[in-house]
Amino acid sequence: MMRRIGRVERIARRLLLHAVLIGGSIVFAIPFIWLGSTSAKVADEMYPPRWIPQIPPRVVQSPYIQLRVNEKAEKPSRVTEENWQRLAVPVQTAITARLVELGPALPAFFQSYLREQDWAEGVFARLLKRMPDEVFEKSEEEAAAWFVNNLDEELAAEVFDAVYRRVAFSDVVFHGWDVRVEQPTEQNKFPWRVERGDVELIARTEGLRRPAQEAKYSFREQDTFVLGTVLPLDMKPENLKKIVVSNHADRSWHELRLSVEMAGRKYRSAQAGYLGSDRWQDITWQFASDDDKSIKMKTWLRLDEAGPSSFNEPGKVKLTLECRQAKGIKSAWNKYMNNYRDALRMVPLWAYVKNSLILVVLNIAGQLLGSSLVAFSFARLRWPARDFCFMLVLATLMIPAQVTMIPVFLIFKSLGWYNTLKPLWVGSFFGSAFYIFLLRQFMKGIPSDLEDGAKIDGCGYLGIYAWIIVPLIKPALAAIAIFTFMGTWNDFMGPLIYLNDQRLYPLSLGLFALQVFQLGNYGLMMAASVLMTLPVIALFFAAQRHFIQGVTLTGIKG
């Protein structure tokens, strides 16, 4: 009986231990989960905060009516739950009836959407913000009357423009390498024509905030539609730097690609734009140049040369826009990966990664070599004042880094190393006080018989270090390598102090530069942070066994 009780206790203790470990893992994973979910969001999803990013709608045909999640009608804090349940639905029904009543005074293309629930809810949400406190205390008829009386044509059109999801095109602007700007399109005169696909172009000159050429499309039969136009070009073809196409997106996350033909040559977009927002956006395509390899913030999509073209009209340029459907989960993939694509495209991320890897390799090599050699001299060699010198090394652990920051900076600057990577790795070859202490204690646990046997065989001190000591302290060296990697990879203050040339920035400082240029774009910043954090997480899981051994082992048993 007692044996059975003891077994139950052991099982219960083990289950409790695993439950605590799993719970702790979940708690510590919460910040990274939030980091990953935020990186998959667009700007209008940031507030109010939600854990799960929105799934984009499956858009087969457009235009359509849809209200943003963060613009839906929500109960004001001053309204009781009882009154909200009593009046919310009747008031929205009255708003729908009012929209139908206003129909004849609204533009003709509004008529088919008058009974859309999202339009009425959008009006309801707008009016809730200006509603007096006592309205929801009144009867159903009186409350509905207040909302109906405050709904006019202007408000109805304003909300319609916000919920009307559409693809539309307006201005096209040419920019030259000599900073010359041309706008070949005229207001209310839209140049695009249908070349292929189930799409109809409709000129919308009234009813919406911005006149445009609306693309009414359907992907039920075909998964692509193509628009084209020929525009005048006053500047020389070789002077044309980039083309800006103003368009309104419909949150479908379909791909948009541009082809350009002029002077007998054809150019195609190497990177796609996306119909991901529900606002006006300017998509910029720039011809391939040295700018693509520079450290500039790349706010454009690249146009690559695609061979000869039959179009060769002087003073003219032919533009072709191709819209490809995002089928199935492709729309969600396009949305969730959008910030990662922008982070990889907008900044020279791979140059930053290269600099970080150079620093990581040099610092790891320096710490392993320098710290192990110094620790070997303290642990296995006998020389005058050895223990006193070791105490001095340990004493440096008590000096804050902030105290020595300015003197060390002045030393490196006098050596001519400012704005180079040298100050960030040379010091590692002199060892670190903590790592020296760790390795010394590790080495002192190794039996001296191994060292004596090596001496009898004629092995010198360096031979003993290389062939006897180093193989036995591999777990500790692995732990030091992990610590050094994490410290160097995440180091921000050192590069900030010593580097001024953006080409030398490591990843940590490069992401800070991205934050300066893209202030407020939290999704982009979180995506870049995920890219920086993933190598550290992968290293920990790959090397956790060595990490634990390096902390727990103390040599070999003798």
Does one domain contain both 86 and 234?
no
User: Does the residue 35 lie in any domain?
Assistant: yes
Task: Give tens-digit pLDDT for 57-89.
Answer: 899 999 999 998 878 888 888 889 999 999 999
Instruction: Look at residues 126, 146, 162 and tell me which one is the last residue of a structural domain.
Output: 162
CA-derived radius of gyration, the chain: 33
Question: How many structural domains compose the chain?
Answer: 4
Q: What burial letters (b/e) apply to 463-481, b meaning 16+ CB within 10 Å?
A: ebbeebbeebbebbbbbbb
3-state secondary structure of 323: strand
pLDDT at res. 551 = 54
pTM recorded for the entire structure: 0.83
Cβ contacts of residue 544 below 8 Å, gap of 6+? none
Task: Give tens-digit pLDDT for 367-383.
Answer: 999 999 999 999 988 88
User: Does the residue 46 lie in any domain?
Assistant: no
Q: Which residue has the tokens 């900076």?
A: 409
Task: Give tens-digit pLDDT for 510-543.
Answer: 888 777 777 678 888 889 889 888 888 888 777 7
User: Does the residue 531 lie in any domain?
Assistant: yes
Domain around 93 = 64-162
In angstroms, the CA 558 to CA 385 distance is: 29
Does one domain contain both 412 and 534?
yes
Does one domain contain both 309 and 398?
no
Cβ contacts of residue 139 below 8 Å, gap of 6+? none
pLDDT at res. 468 = 87
Does one domain contain both 300 and 367?
no
Does one domain contain both 254 and 313?
yes
- Residue 31 sits at the vertex; the CA angle it makes with 30 and 33, to the nearest 5 degrees, is 65
User: Does the residue 137 lie in any domain?
Assistant: yes
User: Does the residue 58 lie in any domain?
Assistant: no
Does one domain contain both 385 and 520?
yes
User: Does the residue 474 lie in any domain?
Assistant: yes
Which tokens belong to 59? 């858009």
In angstroms, the CA 490 to CA 507 distance is: 8
Maximal CA-CA distance, the chain:
107
3-state secondary structure of 266: strand
pLDDT at res. 350 = 85
Instruction: Look at residues 108, 142, 162 and tell me which one is the last residue of a structural domain.
Output: 162
In angstroms, the CA 319 to CA 247 distance is: 14
- Residue 233 sits at the vertex; the CA angle it makes with 229 and 234, to the nearest 5 degrees, is 160
The CATH number of residue 237's host domain is 2.60.120
Does one domain contain both 119 and 213?
no
Q: Would you call 151 exposed, middle or buried from its count of C-beta atoms within 10 A (0-12, 13-18, 19+)?
A: buried
Does one domain contain both 262 and 367?
no
User: Does the residue 227 lie in any domain?
Assistant: yes
pLDDT at res. 525 = 87
Low-confidence ranges of the chain (pLDDT < 50): 554-558
Across all residues in the chain, what is the average pLDDT?
Answer: 89
Does one domain contain both 151 and 181?
no
Q: What single DSSP character describes residue 241?
A: E
Sign of the four-CA dihedral 105, 111, 114, 115: positive
Residue 315 CB neighbour total at 10 angstroms: 12
pLDDT at res. 555 = 43
Cβ contacts of residue 156 below 8 Å, gap of 6+? 99, 102, 106, 123
Does one domain contain both 277 and 389?
no
User: Does the residue 333 lie in any domain?
Assistant: no
Does one domain contain both 110 and 20?
no
Does one domain contain both 140 and 172?
no
Give the 3-state secondary structure of 100-130: HHHHHHCCHHHHHHCCCHHHHHHHHHHHHCC
The CATH number of residue 493's host domain is 1.10.3720.10
In angstroms, the CA 212 to CA 202 distance is: 8
